């Protein structure tokens, strides 16, 4: 963060172990695989550092949570339908206009799927237990997540609203004020829980819409998955969609989001746990109108941004087309929830 005395690093080698006292890890399971966490714990033990961990997703350790995840996955698979897409421009309709889907693999039926999902569930619960055991302090960004961690036996849990990084004030102008287009933005990892389909289909119904997608691949995946590669090929057919899958510095992300008329956050949180959106904080820092679907990932922002009453395509499209231009609540929230103003969990001030 930018707070005085706190340094942000991406590699352990960047830490000055002679002056550092605490290592605060921003934890995402897709970004910090368990072997990496073990390495971090070993590093802290070697250099006498205290380890604080913010869990951006908290797994619910119960059979009910597993069964909910399994049933959700089965229902989604059985009810999934092909999606047709037309661009809102005068460009000819491309030959292939269906959003590509993951290559089918042998599933072994529902029993095989249940076994695979249970192994993954047990692995995540075990990993989370290791995080709780090896951390000096655990931080959650929602009261529900903090309560679940305490239920699992971790008493030293603190709930702190997700802070924002501060950015220097500068003149942020819209992309092209006079081009007659509605510029819509999105930022976040390219992941199954991001509802790209609904976003693209909704924007396709809006005349003169330009969609700017910043959807990088989590580095832990080690490359671009086959489905992501197919998605890129499919999206490139539409001139009205600008897709960038680079891992961009936050300053550039905020700068790009600030140039849109409105930014949209649509997600389908995986069941069986509590997640907090880190990417929505960059939306807030950009100071532009925000439209989001109703999930616990943005429940703390109900009085700050526009929350959709349902997820029908017409509802999404109307909210984008008729977005609220008043950003005063967003600007105020961004000013009051910076790293500098969070409670001093480090005890250094």
107 confidence band (pLDDT: 50, 70, 90): low
The pLDDT of 63-71, averaged and rounded, is 76
**pTM value > 0.85:** no
Q: Are 208 and 88 in contact (CB under 8 A)?
A: yes
- Does the structure show a pLDDT above 90 at 160? no
Q: What is the pLDDT of residue 348?
A: 57
Work out the average pLDDT over 194-209.
92
Closest among 332, 168, 333 to 254, alpha carbons compared: 168
Residue written as token pair 């934890």: 27
Q: Reduced to 3 states, what is the DSSP secondary structure of residue 291?
A: strand
| Highest mean pLDDT: which range of 112-126, 273-287, 301-315 | 301-315
Phi, psi of 138 (to 5 degrees): -115, 135
Q: Please say if the pLDDT value at position 128 is more than 90.
A: yes
Nearest one of 184, 165, 143, 185 to 276, comparing CA atoms: 143
User: What's residue 176's pLDDT?
Assistant: 57
pLDDT of residue 53 exceeding 90: yes
pLDDT digits 0-9 by tens, 210-243: 999 998 876 555 555 666 777 888 888 899 999 9
The Cα 46–Cα 22 span in angstroms is 13
C-alpha 208/C-alpha 240 separation (Å) is 8
The contacts of residue 338 (CB under 8 Å, 6+ apart) are: 2, 163, 164, 165, 166
Per-residue pLDDT for 278 more than 60?
A: yes
Residue 83 has pLDDT above 60, yes or no: no
State yes or no: pLDDT of 284 exceeds 90.
yes
3-class secondary structure, 25: strand
For residue 176, with 0-12 CB atoms within 10 Å meaning exposed, 13-18 middle and 19 or more buried, which class applies?
exposed
């Amino acid at each position: 963060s930018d707070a005085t005395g706190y340094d942000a690093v991406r590699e352990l080698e960047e830490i000055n172990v002679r002056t550092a006292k605490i290592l605060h890890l921003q934890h995402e399971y897709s970004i910090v695989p368990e072997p990496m966490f073990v390495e971090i714990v070993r590093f802290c033990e070697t250099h006498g550092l205290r380890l604080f961990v913010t869990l951006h997703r908290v797994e619910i350790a119960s059979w009910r949570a597993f069964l909910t995840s399994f049933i959700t996955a089965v229902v989604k698979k059985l009810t999934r339908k092909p999606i047709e897409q037309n661009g809102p421009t005068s460009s000819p309709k491309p030959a292939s206009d269906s959003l590509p889907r993951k290559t089918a693999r042998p599933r072994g039926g529902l029993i095989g799927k249940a076994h695979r999902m249970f192994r993954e569930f047990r692995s995540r619960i075990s990993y989370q237990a290791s995080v709780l055991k090896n951390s000096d302090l655990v931080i959650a960004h929602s009261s529900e997540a903090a309560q679940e961690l305490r239920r699992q036996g971790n008493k030293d849990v603190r709930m702190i609203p997700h802070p924002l990084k501060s950015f220097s004030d500068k003149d942020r102008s819209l992309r092209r004020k006079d081009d007659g287009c509605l510029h819509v933005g999105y930022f976040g990892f390219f992941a199954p829980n991001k509802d790209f389909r609904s976003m693209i289909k909704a924007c396709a119904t809006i005349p003169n819409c330009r969609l700017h997608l910043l959807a990088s691949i989590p580095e832990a995946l080690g490359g671009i998955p086959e489905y992501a590669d197919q998605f890129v090929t499919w999206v490139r057919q539409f001139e009205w969609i600008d897709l960038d899958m680079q891992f961009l510095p936050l300053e550039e992300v905020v700068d790009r989001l600030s140039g849109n008329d409105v930014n949209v956050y649509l997600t389908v949180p995986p069941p069986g746990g509590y997640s907090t959106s880190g990417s929505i904080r960059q939306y807030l820092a950009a100071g532009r109108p925000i439209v989001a679907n109703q999930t616990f990932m943005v429940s703390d922002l109900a009085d700050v941004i526009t929350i959709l009453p349902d997820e029908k395509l017409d509802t999404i499209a109307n909210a984008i087309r008729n977005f609220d231009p008043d950003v005063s609540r967003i600007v105020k929230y961004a000013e009051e929830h910076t790293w500098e103003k969070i409670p001093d969990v480090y005890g250094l001030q």
